[in-house]
């Protein structure tokens, strides 16, 4: 993982800082916060790895030569920002009775994020105009995700669910005096976030289909069958699309098309490009595994038996 390994020692400093800050939360939120952080700690074996959330300030140093201290603080803010939005996502999807506790600690996470950012960007800084825009994009996307078929109709908007991640790149560019690059970098990160969502949706399509949640792979399959994606495609149709009609091959090709925008950009973000390339490779490998398994099942006469179950 060449997009992570060069920054491993920095990440240890960042996550230690986050742990120290959470340990100062009032009880019981100190223990709750540390326990929640473990689910996303990059150094925990079974944790969710959301690399872009905390590595983006370091990746930006290709074009924005910020100091170690600035990169670390933006990265720490990125971790808290990540925790905040994952808490909100959990609360929106949950009918459990612990939402009060979740939303309470979410505010503590957000307080840390803004405190770290205000140290670099006072209230009058243009940074906050961009941050406001990213939060607006997130809000509209979350509210409309079961209404608008963004993957078919306006693909870059798929990225808006993670738009607040961009504060780190915008912050780095403002700190290094390069605000003119913000728009182009925003677009490159959006393409990366779309592909990242595509990878998540490949892993979660069955669960999303059952829950009626928007899913890019389901959207692509539904458009192939010329039907509305929302709740009308069946699990059997999805299996046919994936295991017989090479849906994932088409899906991974579209991810590679996203990568072409990073490769052809005049803004050289090599680590972001490496990260994006690794996601594309994983999707392509998944498509090849499906094709190989289908060939094995066909040779053994087991494909129809598999699909009938």
pLDDT tens string 219-237: 999 887 765 555 578 888 8
Please report, in angstroms and rounded to a whole number, the separation of the first and last CA atoms in the chain.
38
What is the model's pTM? Answer: 0.92
**CA–CA gap between residue 265 and residue 141 (Å, rounded):** 26
- Output Rg (C-alpha) for the chain, integer angstroms: 21
Closest CA to 231 of 245, 253, 214: 214
pLDDT at 307 (0 to 100):
53
Give the pLDDT mean for 125-139.
Answer: 97
**CA–CA gap between residue 209 and residue 67 (Å, rounded):** 45
Residue 149's contacts (CB-CB under 8 Å, 6 or more residues apart) are 214, 219, 229, 230
At 218, is the secondary structure helix, strand, or coil?
helix
DSSP 8-class letter at 111: H
Buried/exposed 133-169: b ≥16 CB within 10 Å, e otherwise = ebeebbeebeeebeeebbbeeebebbbbbbbbbbbbb
pLDDT at 305 (0 to 100):
47
Residue 93's contacts (CB-CB under 8 Å, 6 or more residues apart) are none
pLDDT at 233 (0 to 100):
85
What percentage of the chain exceeds 90 in pLDDT? 76
Higher pLDDT, 223 or 306: 223
């Amino acid at each position: 993982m060449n997009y992570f390994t060069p920054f491993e020692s920095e990440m240890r400093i960042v996550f230690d800082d986050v742990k120290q800050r959470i340990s100062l939360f009032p009880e019981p939120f100190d223990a709750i916060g540390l326990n929640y952080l473990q689910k996303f700690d990059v150094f925990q074996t079974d944790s969710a790895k959301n690399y872009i959330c905390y590595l983006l300030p370091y990746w930006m140093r290709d074009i924005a030569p910020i100091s170690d201290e600035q990169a670390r603080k933006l990265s720490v803010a990125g971790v808290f920002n990540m925790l905040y939005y994952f808490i909100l996502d959990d609360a929106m999807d949950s009918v459990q009775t612990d939402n009060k506790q979740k939303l309470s600690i979410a505010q503590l996470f957000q307080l840390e994020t803004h405190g770290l950012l205000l140290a670099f960007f006072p209230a009058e800084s243009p940074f906050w105009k961009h941050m406001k825009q990213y939060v607006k994009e997130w809000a509209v996307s979350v509210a409309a995700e079961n209404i608008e078929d963004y993957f078919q109709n306006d693909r870059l908007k798929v990225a808006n669910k993670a738009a607040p991640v961009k504060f780190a790149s915008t912050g780095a560019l403002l700190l290094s005096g390069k605000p003119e690059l913000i728009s182009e970098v925003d677009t490159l990160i959006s393409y990366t976030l779309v592909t990242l969502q595509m990878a998540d949706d490949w892993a979660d399509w069955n669960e999303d289909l059952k829950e009626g949640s928007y899913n890019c792979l389901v959207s692509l399959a539904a458009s192939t069958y010329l039907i509305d994606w929302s709740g009308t495609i069946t699990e059997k149709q999805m299996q046919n699309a994936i295991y017989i009609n090479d849906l994932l091959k088409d899906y991974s090709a579209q991810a590679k098309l996203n990568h072409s925008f990073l490769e052809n950009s005049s803004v050289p973000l090599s680590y972001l490009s490496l990260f994006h390339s690794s996601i594309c490779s994983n999707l392509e490998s998944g498509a090849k595994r499906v094709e190989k398994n289908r060939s094995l099942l066909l040779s053994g006469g087991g494909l129809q038996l598999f699909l009938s179950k």
